[in-house]
């Protein structure tokens, strides 16, 4: 069984990005620049944005953090996005979610210039990805694709079952696995809460991608021996034996599924660490005008 190491892979990607940034700077080029907008004081959001800013420093990017009070109006936030859209020095723009209830996420997302949408959330980028055009692919699907590539997992002609159809994970993953390319060319079954005989379908999967958001939902009896299992779920559960008082588990019952699988991502240390690498990669792509030309 191969343990797919997302922590190491994300560090490899960051090292590659840092090396490219050093080259750009040595050639007298512009330093890639990511702007993050954070609304309010949500603890988790502050941690995520903090980690993104720190990762920018690590690879030599410039970063700008725009902090707004949770009382900011939708109009004011849209104006901030517009200003960043028009700022030629900034290559990538992310608006940290969730936003306060009085602000429409769709309106704000749609305001982001697709050329700077390094989260890959705008309709333009989702459409481009679907058409197999150059696109900013959202962080989690990007991370999974990169893990499959770097671990040279064969996908062509395989049956890939995806559990979950969210816009940020399951749906884009099903499109990427079905498209004509590598990774891809798989025969894909996209399942959701209305799917019947889920366990039976899962047992036919050569590649099982699980993004259901239910702790340890996938058990050994749902997995074909030799399958590749990608666990997207992240759940915090209480564990008094840990200093922190909790530990992280995934959507897959790792201990019983791992011995069956030919390759599997652990939680933590699998898909999760890849997300920041994806954001940095997309920002570099933007700085180098690789997606929209
Ligand atoms: P989500 O938006 O809650 O979507 C869950 C999906 O699972 C939905 O499509 C839902 O179907 C389906 N589902 C629910 N119960 C089901 C059942 N009994 N049988 C089959 N399908 C079922 O979740 P998400 O945002 O995709 O996230 C999934 C998990 O990944 C969460 O644990 C989340 O924390 C984690 N996550 C991790 C990362 C990372 O970086 N590692 C990134 C994003 C998310 P319906 O559409 O019919 O409701």
Q: Are 218 and 179 in contact (CB under 8 A)?
A: no
Counting ligand 1 atoms within 8 A of each CB, the residue from 97, 192, 248 with the most, and so the one to mutate, is 192
Q: What percent of the chain has pLDDT over 90?
A: 99
Phi, psi of 32 (to 5 degrees): -55, 145
C-alpha closest to that of 186 among 145, 224, 131, 151? 145
- pLDDT above 90 for 275: yes
C-alpha closest to that of 213 among 231, 190, 237? 231
113 touches ligand 1 (CB under 6 Å): no
Intervals of CATH 3.40.50.10860 along the chain: 27-113
Average pLDDT, the chain: 97
How far does the centroid of ligand 1 lie from the alpha carbon of residue 67, in Å?
29
What's the rounded Cα separation, in Å, for the pair 223 and 237? 24
201 touches ligand 1 (CB under 6 Å): no
Could you tell me the pTM of the whole model?
0.96
What number is the average pLDDT over the span 2-26?
98
276 touches ligand 1 (CB under 6 Å): no
The CATH T-level fold of domain 139-272 is: Rossmann fold (3.40.50)
Intervals of CATH 3.40.50.720 along the chain: 139-272
How far does the centroid of ligand 1 lie from the alpha carbon of residue 201, in Å?
17
Q: Are 232 and 271 in contact (CB under 8 A)?
A: yes
The CATH T-level fold of domain 27-113 is: Rossmann fold (3.40.50)
Tens-digit pLDDT profile for residues 126-182: 999 999 999 999 999 999 999 999 999 999 999 999 999 999 999 999 999 999 999
Q: Are 216 and 257 in contact (CB under 8 A)?
A: no
Tens-digit pLDDT profile for residues 103-132: 999 999 999 999 999 999 999 999 999 999
Tens-digit pLDDT profile for residues 35-72: 999 999 999 999 999 999 999 999 999 999 999 999 99
The predicted pLDDT at position 293 comes to 79
């Amino acid at each position: 069984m191969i343990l797919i190491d997302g922590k190491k892979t994300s560090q490899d990607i960051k090292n590659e990005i840092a090396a490219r940034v050093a080259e750009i700077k040595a050639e007298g080029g512009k330093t890639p620049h990511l702007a993050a907008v954070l609304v309010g004081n949500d603890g988790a959001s502050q941690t995520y944005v903090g980690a993104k800013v720190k990762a920018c420093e690590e690879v030599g990017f410039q970063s700008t953090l725009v902090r707004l009070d949770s009382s900011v109006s939708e109009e004011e936030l849209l104006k901030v996005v517009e200003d960043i859209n028009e700022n030629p020095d900034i290559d990538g723009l992310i608006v940290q979610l969730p936003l306060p209830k009085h602000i429409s996420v769709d309106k704000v997302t749609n305001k982001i210039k697709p050329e700077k949408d390094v989260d890959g959330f705008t309709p333009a980028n989702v459409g481009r990805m679907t058409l197999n055009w150059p696109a900013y692919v959202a962080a989690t699907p990007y991370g999974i694709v990169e893990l499959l590539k770097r671990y040279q997992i064969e996908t062509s002609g395989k049956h890939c079952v995806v559990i979950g159809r969210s816009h940020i994970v399951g749906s884009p993953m099903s499109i990427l696995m079905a498209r004509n390319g590598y990774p891809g060319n798989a025969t894909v079954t996209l399942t959701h809460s209305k799917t019947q005989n889920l366990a039976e379908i899962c047992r036919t999967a050569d590649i099982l991608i699980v993004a259901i958001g239910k702790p340890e939902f996938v058990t050994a009896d749902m997995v074909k021996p030799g399958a590749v299992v990608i666990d997207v779920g992240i759940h915090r559960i209480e564990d008094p034996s840990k200093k922190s008082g909790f530990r992280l588990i995934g959507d897959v019952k790792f201990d019983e599924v791992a011995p069956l699988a030919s390759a599997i991502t652990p939680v933590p240390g699998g898909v999760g660490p890849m997300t920041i690498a994806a954001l940095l990669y997309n920002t570099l792509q933007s700085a180098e005008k690789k997606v929209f030309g």
